[in-house]
Protein backbone atom coordinates (compact mmCIF):
# COMPACT_ATOMS: atom_id res chain seq x y z
CA UNK A 1 0.00 0.00 0.00
CA UNK A 2 1.40 3.42 -0.96
CA UNK A 3 1.64 6.24 1.55
CA UNK A 4 -1.24 8.09 -0.11
CA UNK A 5 -3.50 5.03 0.01
CA UNK A 6 -2.71 4.46 3.68
CA UNK A 7 -3.14 8.14 4.53
CA UNK A 8 -6.47 8.43 2.73
CA UNK A 9 -7.78 5.37 4.52
CA UNK A 10 -6.89 7.04 7.83
CA UNK A 11 -8.90 10.19 7.04
CA UNK A 12 -12.00 8.60 5.51
CA UNK A 13 -14.22 9.47 8.54
CA UNK A 14 -13.00 13.09 8.46
CA UNK A 15 -13.57 13.29 4.72
CA UNK A 16 -17.12 11.98 5.22
CA UNK A 17 -17.69 14.78 7.75
CA UNK A 18 -16.37 17.30 5.21
CA UNK A 19 -18.86 16.11 2.58
CA UNK A 20 -21.68 16.17 5.14
CA UNK A 21 -20.84 19.65 6.41
CA UNK A 22 -23.67 22.15 5.79
CA UNK A 23 -21.30 24.46 3.90
CA UNK A 24 -20.59 21.86 1.23
CA UNK A 25 -24.11 20.44 1.25
CA UNK A 26 -25.58 23.88 0.62
CA UNK A 27 -22.86 24.84 -1.86
CA UNK A 28 -23.77 21.76 -3.91
CA UNK A 29 -27.45 22.72 -3.91
CA UNK A 30 -26.65 26.36 -4.67
CA UNK A 31 -28.47 27.44 -1.51
CA UNK A 32 -25.41 28.51 0.50
CA UNK A 33 -25.96 32.05 1.78
CA UNK A 34 -23.87 34.48 -0.22
CA UNK A 35 -22.48 36.18 2.90
CA UNK A 36 -21.07 32.82 4.02
CA UNK A 37 -19.53 32.24 0.60
CA UNK A 38 -18.09 35.75 0.56
CA UNK A 39 -16.59 35.17 4.00
CA UNK A 40 -15.09 31.93 2.70
CA UNK A 41 -13.63 33.57 -0.42
CA UNK A 42 -11.95 36.30 1.61
CA UNK A 43 -10.45 33.79 4.01
CA UNK A 44 -9.38 31.56 1.12
CA UNK A 45 -7.56 34.50 -0.47
CA UNK A 46 -5.59 34.98 2.75
CA UNK A 47 -5.01 31.25 3.09
CA UNK A 48 -3.65 30.77 -0.43
CA UNK A 49 -0.88 33.35 0.01
CA UNK A 50 0.49 31.39 2.95
CA UNK A 51 -0.15 28.07 1.21
CA UNK A 52 1.96 29.27 -1.73
CA UNK A 53 4.60 30.45 0.72
CA UNK A 54 4.67 27.04 2.44
CA UNK A 55 5.06 25.35 -0.95
CA UNK A 56 7.99 27.63 -1.77
CA UNK A 57 9.64 26.85 1.57
CA UNK A 58 9.20 23.12 0.95
CA UNK A 59 10.68 23.60 -2.55
CA UNK A 60 13.79 25.16 -1.06
CA UNK A 61 14.37 21.95 0.92
CA UNK A 62 13.98 19.54 -2.01
CA UNK A 63 17.16 17.67 -2.92
CA UNK A 64 15.84 16.59 -6.32
CA UNK A 65 15.91 19.52 -8.82
CA UNK A 66 12.82 18.19 -10.60
CA UNK A 67 10.89 18.17 -7.33
CA UNK A 68 12.07 21.69 -6.57
CA UNK A 69 10.73 22.92 -9.92
CA UNK A 70 7.46 21.04 -9.43
CA UNK A 71 6.85 22.57 -6.00
CA UNK A 72 7.66 26.05 -7.27
CA UNK A 73 5.22 25.46 -10.13
CA UNK A 74 2.60 24.48 -7.56
CA UNK A 75 3.31 27.67 -5.62
CA UNK A 76 3.08 29.88 -8.70
CA UNK A 77 0.03 28.06 -10.04
CA UNK A 78 -1.79 28.44 -6.74
CA UNK A 79 -1.49 32.20 -6.89
CA UNK A 80 -2.30 32.59 -10.59
CA UNK A 81 -5.16 30.11 -11.09
CA UNK A 82 -7.00 30.49 -7.81
CA UNK A 83 -6.50 34.25 -7.64
CA UNK A 84 -8.42 34.38 -10.91
CA UNK A 85 -11.30 32.52 -9.26
CA UNK A 86 -11.27 34.91 -6.32
CA UNK A 87 -11.16 37.98 -8.55
CA UNK A 88 -14.19 36.67 -10.46
CA UNK A 89 -16.28 36.38 -7.30
CA UNK A 90 -14.94 39.56 -5.76
CA UNK A 91 -16.00 41.46 -8.90
CA UNK A 92 -19.30 39.57 -9.10
CA UNK A 93 -20.25 40.51 -5.54
CA UNK A 94 -18.57 43.92 -5.53
CA UNK A 95 -16.47 43.05 -2.48
CA UNK A 96 -12.82 43.49 -1.56
CA UNK A 97 -10.32 41.82 0.73
CA UNK A 98 -10.87 43.84 3.89
CA UNK A 99 -10.51 41.29 6.70
CA UNK A 100 -7.85 39.60 8.79
CA UNK A 101 -7.48 35.85 9.12
CA UNK A 102 -10.24 34.21 11.11
CA UNK A 103 -9.12 31.67 13.75
CA UNK A 104 -9.64 28.69 11.41
CA UNK A 105 -7.56 30.22 8.64
CA UNK A 106 -4.89 31.44 11.05
CA UNK A 107 -4.52 28.01 12.64
CA UNK A 108 -4.28 26.18 9.32
CA UNK A 109 -1.76 28.49 7.66
CA UNK A 110 0.44 28.61 10.73
CA UNK A 111 0.45 24.82 10.85
CA UNK A 112 1.52 24.57 7.20
CA UNK A 113 4.27 27.15 7.45
CA UNK A 114 5.50 25.59 10.70
CA UNK A 115 5.71 22.15 9.09
CA UNK A 116 7.38 23.51 5.96
CA UNK A 117 9.94 25.39 8.07
CA UNK A 118 10.55 23.17 11.09
CA UNK A 119 9.27 19.72 10.12
CA UNK A 120 11.07 17.29 7.88
CA UNK A 121 10.78 17.71 4.12
CA UNK A 122 8.70 14.52 3.99
CA UNK A 123 6.38 15.79 6.71
CA UNK A 124 5.90 19.14 4.96
CA UNK A 125 4.77 17.43 1.76
CA UNK A 126 2.26 15.32 3.67
CA UNK A 127 0.90 18.41 5.43
CA UNK A 128 0.46 20.26 2.12
CA UNK A 129 -1.18 17.40 0.23
CA UNK A 130 -4.72 17.54 1.70
CA UNK A 131 -5.34 21.04 0.36
CA UNK A 132 -4.87 19.69 -3.15
CA UNK A 133 -6.47 16.29 -2.71
CA UNK A 134 -9.44 17.11 -0.49
CA UNK A 135 -10.49 19.98 -2.75
CA UNK A 136 -10.37 17.74 -5.79
CA UNK A 137 -12.48 15.05 -4.15
CA UNK A 138 -14.98 17.56 -2.80
CA UNK A 139 -15.15 19.29 -6.18
CA UNK A 140 -15.76 16.01 -8.00
CA UNK A 141 -18.37 14.91 -5.46
CA UNK A 142 -20.26 18.20 -5.64
CA UNK A 143 -20.03 18.30 -9.45
CA UNK A 144 -22.05 15.07 -9.64
CA UNK A 145 -24.91 16.49 -7.56
CA UNK A 146 -24.73 20.26 -8.13
CA UNK A 147 -28.03 22.08 -8.50
CA UNK A 148 -29.05 23.57 -11.85
CA UNK A 149 -27.87 27.18 -12.40
CA UNK A 150 -25.75 26.92 -9.29
CA UNK A 151 -24.31 30.36 -8.40
CA UNK A 152 -21.12 28.62 -7.30
CA UNK A 153 -20.65 26.66 -10.53
CA UNK A 154 -17.35 28.37 -11.35
CA UNK A 155 -15.91 27.16 -8.03
CA UNK A 156 -17.24 23.66 -8.69
CA UNK A 157 -15.86 23.59 -12.23
CA UNK A 158 -12.39 24.65 -11.14
CA UNK A 159 -11.90 21.99 -8.49
CA UNK A 160 -13.50 19.21 -10.53
CA UNK A 161 -11.67 20.16 -13.74
CA UNK A 162 -9.04 18.12 -15.53
CA UNK A 163 -6.33 20.77 -15.12
CA UNK A 164 -6.67 20.69 -11.34
CA UNK A 165 -6.80 16.89 -11.37
CA UNK A 166 -3.43 16.84 -13.13
CA UNK A 167 -1.95 19.05 -10.41
CA UNK A 168 -3.35 16.80 -7.68
CA UNK A 169 -2.00 13.67 -9.35
CA UNK A 170 1.48 15.23 -9.47
CA UNK A 171 1.24 16.22 -5.80
CA UNK A 172 0.21 12.70 -4.78
CA UNK A 173 2.93 11.12 -6.91
CA UNK A 174 5.58 13.41 -5.43
CA UNK A 175 4.53 12.62 -1.86
CA UNK A 176 4.44 8.88 -2.55
CA UNK A 177 7.85 9.03 -4.22
CA UNK A 178 9.40 10.77 -1.22
CA UNK A 179 7.62 8.44 1.22
CA UNK A 180 9.27 5.39 -0.37
CA UNK A 181 12.62 6.47 1.10
CA UNK A 182 11.22 7.47 4.49
CA UNK A 183 11.82 5.40 7.62
CA UNK A 184 9.01 4.25 9.90
CA UNK A 185 9.25 7.29 12.19
CA UNK A 186 9.11 9.67 9.23
CA UNK A 187 6.14 7.80 7.76
CA UNK A 188 4.27 8.11 11.05
CA UNK A 189 5.02 11.84 11.18
CA UNK A 190 3.84 12.17 7.59
CA UNK A 191 0.57 10.42 8.35
CA UNK A 192 -0.03 12.55 11.45
CA UNK A 193 0.61 15.73 9.44
CA UNK A 194 -1.76 14.54 6.70
CA UNK A 195 -4.49 13.79 9.23
CA UNK A 196 -4.06 17.14 11.00
CA UNK A 197 -4.28 19.07 7.74
CA UNK A 198 -7.44 17.17 6.83
CA UNK A 199 -8.99 18.14 10.16
CA UNK A 200 -7.99 21.73 9.49
CA UNK A 201 -9.71 21.52 6.10
CA UNK A 202 -12.94 20.65 7.92
CA UNK A 203 -12.32 23.50 10.36
CA UNK A 204 -11.79 25.97 7.51
CA UNK A 205 -15.22 25.22 5.99
CA UNK A 206 -16.82 25.21 9.44
CA UNK A 207 -15.22 28.57 10.20
CA UNK A 208 -16.71 30.00 7.00
CA UNK A 209 -20.15 28.58 7.69
CA UNK A 210 -20.16 30.10 11.18
CA UNK A 211 -18.50 33.29 9.86
CA UNK A 212 -16.09 32.85 12.72
CA UNK A 213 -14.70 35.82 14.66
CA UNK A 214 -11.95 36.09 17.24
CA UNK A 215 -13.19 35.87 20.82
CA UNK A 216 -13.31 37.81 23.02
CA UNK A 217 -13.90 40.87 20.89
Going along the chain from its start, the domains and CATH numbers come out as 3-210 (1.20.910.10)
Total-model pTM = 0.96
Task: Give how far Cα 110 sits from Cα of 60, 203, 210, Å.
Answer: 18, 14, 21
| 66-81 average pLDDT score | 91
Of the chain, the percentage scoring pLDDT greater than 90 comes to 92
Task: Supply the pLDDT for residue 147.
Answer: 78
What digits encode the pLDDT tens for the residues 3-14?
A: 999 999 999 999
Confidence of residue 93 (pLDDT cuts 50, 70, 90): very high
Task: Give how far Cα 64 sits from Cα of 26, 60, 75, 77, 211, Å.
Answer: 43, 10, 17, 20, 41
Task: Supply the pLDDT for residue 9.
Answer: 98
Task: Supply the pLDDT for residue 122.
Answer: 97
Amino acid sequence: MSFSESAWKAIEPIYKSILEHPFNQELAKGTLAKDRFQFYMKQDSLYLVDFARALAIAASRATNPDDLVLLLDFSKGTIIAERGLHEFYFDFYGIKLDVEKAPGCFTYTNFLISKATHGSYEESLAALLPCFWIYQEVGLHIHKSAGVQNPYQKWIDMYSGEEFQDVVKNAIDLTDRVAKDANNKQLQQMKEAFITSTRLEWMFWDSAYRMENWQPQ
